[in-house]
Amino acid sequence: MLKLIIFGPPSAGKGTQAQRLSERYGIPQIATGDLLRDAVAKQTPLGAKIKSYLDSGRLGPDDLIVQLISDRVSKPDCAGGYILDGFPRTMGQARELDKMAEVDIVLNIVVDMERLVERAIGRRTCGQCAAVYHVSFNPPKAPGVCDKCGSGLIQRDDDKEDTVRNRLRIYMEQTAPLLEHFRMNDNLVDIDGSKGIDGVFDQMVEAIERVRA
Ligand code: AP5
């Protein structure tokens, strides 16, 4: 059983690492952003409620997000654990998570602001399987085509520079204060996110192996 949180500001590399850790440990990645974008694309009732939040980079209402996660973690594929990517993001969500589960480790990716903007603006995502690329730092083999499933790559609507900076501001105001909460739970590990994708992954695996030892 392994339950972990990948924490950090927008575009720090949470999704990139969560996908790799999911393959390595055989547990699902639960990415709130992907679940919400999927709901919008499928025009579900949740999608209709959440679309304006996603477009502007504001956080969705806690009750909707907590319900979404609570439903997801009770699915059978989560019996051996899971990776939370993008949850919790407010103190209210963190308190609800504490009631729901005991998390083994919180991996906090630390990256400076300008690097975050550069990562967001160059990001390309597979519209089909949600694989993540970067035009310079992690390009696909053929431009615009997903290596994993061959579908077309898209640029997220919220990766325009103004919206990215708004998401970073919201992170500093509403999400970064959670670090203190995790520190009190004594399961927070800082990861140097300025390294390349492999270097960040190696640090994460080392930290996970330490808590499992
Ligand atoms: P979400 O999709 O979670 O967005 P985010 O937190 O802003 O995170 P990102 O997906 O932007 O980045 P990431 O850290 O996963 O980085 P990635 O691996 O892609 O949320 C979107 C929206 O949904 C929110 O704004 C909000 O509206 C709503 N929402 C979501 N969760 C919510 C919640 N809990 N409560 C309320 N609302 C919620 O990498 C970024 C780029 O950098 C890629 O191009 C990648 O290839 C590249 N890269 C990654 N690592 C490296 C590296 N080490 N070196 C160089 N390049 C790298």
Instruction: Encode the chain (213 residues) as per-residue pLDDT tens digits.
Output: 999 999 999 999 999 999 999 999 999 999 999 999 999 999 999 999 999 999 988 999 999 999 999 999 999 999 999 999 999 999 999 999 999 999 999 999 999 999 999 999 999 999 899 899 999 999 999 999 999 999 999 999 899 899 999 999 999 999 999 999 999 989 999 999 999 999 999 999 999 999 998
Q: Do residues 37 and 68 make contact, with C-beta atoms less than 8 angstroms apart?
A: no
Residue among 27, 42, 131 at smallest CA distance from 80: 27
Q: How far is the C-alpha of 204 from the C-alpha of 140, rounded, in Å?
A: 24
Q: Which run of H or E residues covers position 61?
A: none
DSSP for residue 77: G
How many residues appear in the chain? 213
Q: Is the CB of 111 under 6 A from ligand 1?
A: no
Mutation probe of ligand 1 site: the residue of 5, 11, 171 with most atoms within 8 A of C-beta: 11
Relative to the CA of 193, which ligand 1 atom is closest? 53
CA of 15 to the centre of ligand 1 (A): 6
Q: For residue 167, indicate whether it is catalytic.
A: yes
How far does the chain reach from its first CA to its final CA, in angstroms?
Answer: 13
DSSP for residue 158: G
Q: What phi and psi values does residue 22 have, to the nearest 5 degrees? A: -60, -45
DSSP for residue 152: B
* Sequence-separated (6 or more) residues with CB below 8 Å from residue 2: 25, 27, 80, 81, 104, 208, 212
Q: For residue 99, indicate whether it is catalytic.
A: no
Q: For residue 195, indicate whether it is catalytic.
A: no
Q: What is the CA radius of gyration of the chain?
A: 16
**pLDDT computed for residue 127 by the predictor:** 87
* Sequence-separated (6 or more) residues with CB below 8 Å from residue 23: none
Annotated active-site residue in 49, 51, 156, 165: 156
Q: What CATH number was assigned to the domain covering residues 2-111+175-212?
A: 3.40.50.300
Question: Up-side HSE of residue 50: CA atoms within 13 Å toward CB?
Answer: 25
pTM of the model: 0.96
Relative to the CA of 122, which ligand 1 atom is closest? 44
Q: For residue 210, indicate whether it is catalytic.
A: no
Q: How far is the C-alpha of 124 from the C-alpha of 156, rounded, in Å?
A: 7
